[in-house]
Every structure is written in C-alpha cells, then in structure tokens.
Amino acid sequence: MQQPHVPTPGRAMDGTGPDAAAPGVPPAPGAARVLVVDDDATVAEVVAGYLGRAGYVVDRADDGPTALTRAAAHWPDLVVLDLMLPGMDGLEVCRRLRARAPVPVVMLTARGDEDDRILGLEVGADDYVTKPFSPRELILRVRSVLRRTLPAVDTRRLAAAGLTVDPAARRATRNGVELALTLREFDLLAFFLRHPGRAYGREDLMREVWGWDFGDLSTVTVHVRRLRGKVEDDPARPRLIQTVWGVGYRFDPSGLEETD
C-alpha cells in the first residue's frame, strides 16, 4: 500500500506548528465522537491527534471488524475510514455502517484512481481525502460534514412534485414513502426544493450545499446521480432534476420537460 506522508512525532504534517499531533484540548461536554479506522498506526495516531486537538472525542480501530464492534459499542457522530484495510475493506465497512444508520463517513484513500473515490461516494461516504493529505484540510472536511448533521437554519417543511422534506426532523418522503438518503443527498434535495426552476452549476452546488469553495466536482455529479435514483420514476430520463447543458442542474417540480 502506498504510504502517506506523515510527520515525525511532535511536528505538524504541514509543518505549521509544534506538537500539533498531540491531543491538547479536552473534549467539551457533548463533543462529537469520531471513529478513526486505519491499519497504519502512524497515520491513525496523527489523525486522532489532530481531531483530539480540535476538541473531538476520538475512538480508533485498525481493521473492519474492530471498527464495526467499536461503532456498535459507542455509535460515532462521524467515521474517518481508510479505504484499504486488511480482511474487510473500507467500502464494505461503509456499507455495513450505513445499513445500520446514516452515520457520516469521510473516506481516506491512498489510491489516485477516480473510480475508487466515486465508488466510495456511491456506497454512502459523504466525502473523501486522498493520501498524502493535509490534516488541516481533513479537520475542515470533518467540520463541514458534521455541520450538515445539525438542523438547518431554515426548518420550514418543503414540498413539491410528491416530495416532502422536513429539515428539522431530517426526514424526506416521496409519495408518502420515506426516502433513505445520505447526509449530502438530503441537503441536496432540500436545496433543490428551496430553489425550484433555477439552474445551478456544479461549483454553485458545491459551495451552497457542501460549503466548499474548492473540491472535486465529480462529487456533485455522483450525488446528483444517486439522488435521481431515489426521486425519479426513470433515473435514466430525469424529469425533476434536469440537466441544463453547459450550466449544471435545475429542479423542475412540474417535470414537464425531459432531459437525458
């Protein structure tokens, strides 16, 4: 396995501060619990150290079965999960976690292949970071994902085209049947329902829904495709979440136009 760059003990991975890997901030009462799953002890220690310094409660596991056991004992608010694990890989761990509850997952991978990253998103990961990585970027990604677990500022119930979204309850239905949506899929659907008829580029959606000013735009493409699979009668010919060629996507509650 490709080895990520890690610092010597007591030095930040980006060289910006002394002793940055050591947890130095006691978690506040009610602090979010993060489960770090990585078979590389050095990487796991660095990641756990940065998360601890950021004020999170951190659990660690070095393989898939142990991760599932730890998660069952103390259900995490978020999982930082390595893709390449011995025995049970990160994709299978992600599938099993998400089969139990919609826990947010940030995938860590040393692979540069885009297909692997997209596959991670398709099994339910909410974000990914490629090794070697900046711990500061990882913390920002974790914070961004966790922010999405909080009730939205606008908690008004949304409804259109047989779809309903209750932001306060984090519940969405289609024709009265509850939808099994990931964190990002829920936020994306809520955003579309709040802004019907307007076309948004992938950069716009990444900024408005993910809260990022940069990132891999294929993340947006994958989530739109997955969301279409749950809200469209025929995902191959979407009528609600339409493609606007050269621009991005538009939510059309009338569903009168067909796109491919």
Same domain, 141 and 176: no
Same domain, yes or no, for 89 and 171? no
**Domain match, 48 and 135 both:** yes
Question: Quick one: 62 and 129 in the same domain?
Answer: yes
91-103 pLDDT tens trace: 899 989 888 887 8
Is 115 domain-assigned?
yes
138 & 43 share domain: yes
Q: Which of 128, 147, 166 is the last residue of a domain?
A: 147
At residue 144, does pLDDT exceed 90? no
Nearest Cα neighbor of 163 from 154, 176, 150 is 176
Q: What is the DSSP letter of 137?
A: H
Cβ–Cβ under 8 Å, residues 79 and 56: no
Report if residue 168 sits inside a domain: yes
User: What's the CATH code of the domain at 187?
Assistant: 1.10.10.10
50 and 127 in a single domain? The answer is: yes
Q: Assess whether 131 and 41 both reside in one domain.
A: yes
DSSP label of 181: -
Same domain, 51 and 76: yes
Last residue of one domain, picked from the residues 126, 147, 168: 147
The reported pLDDT for the residue numbered 167 is 87
Q: Is the Cβ–Cβ distance between 259 and 243 less than 8 Å?
A: yes
Residue 13: inside a domain = no
Contact criterion met (CB below 8 Å) for 78 and 105: yes
Q: Is residue 206 part of a domain?
A: yes
Domain of 181 in residue numbering reads as 158-251
CATH number of the domain where residue 74 is located: 3.40.50.2300
Number of domains in the chain: 2
pTM, rounded to two decimals: 0.57
Tell me: the pLDDT tens digits for 90-141?
889 998 988 888 788 998 877 666 676 677 777 777 888 888 888 888 888 8
**Any domain includes 15:** no
Place of tokens 């993060």: 34
As a whole number of angstroms, the distance between CA 246 and CA 214 comes to: 19
Asked if pLDDT for residue 211 goes beyond 90, the answer is: no
What's the distance, Cα to Cα, between the start and end of the chain in Å? 40
Last residue in a domain, options 147, 167, 202: 147
Given pLDDT bands bounded at 50, 70 and 90, which one contains residue 31? confident
Alpha-carbon span 97 to 80, nearest angstrom: 12
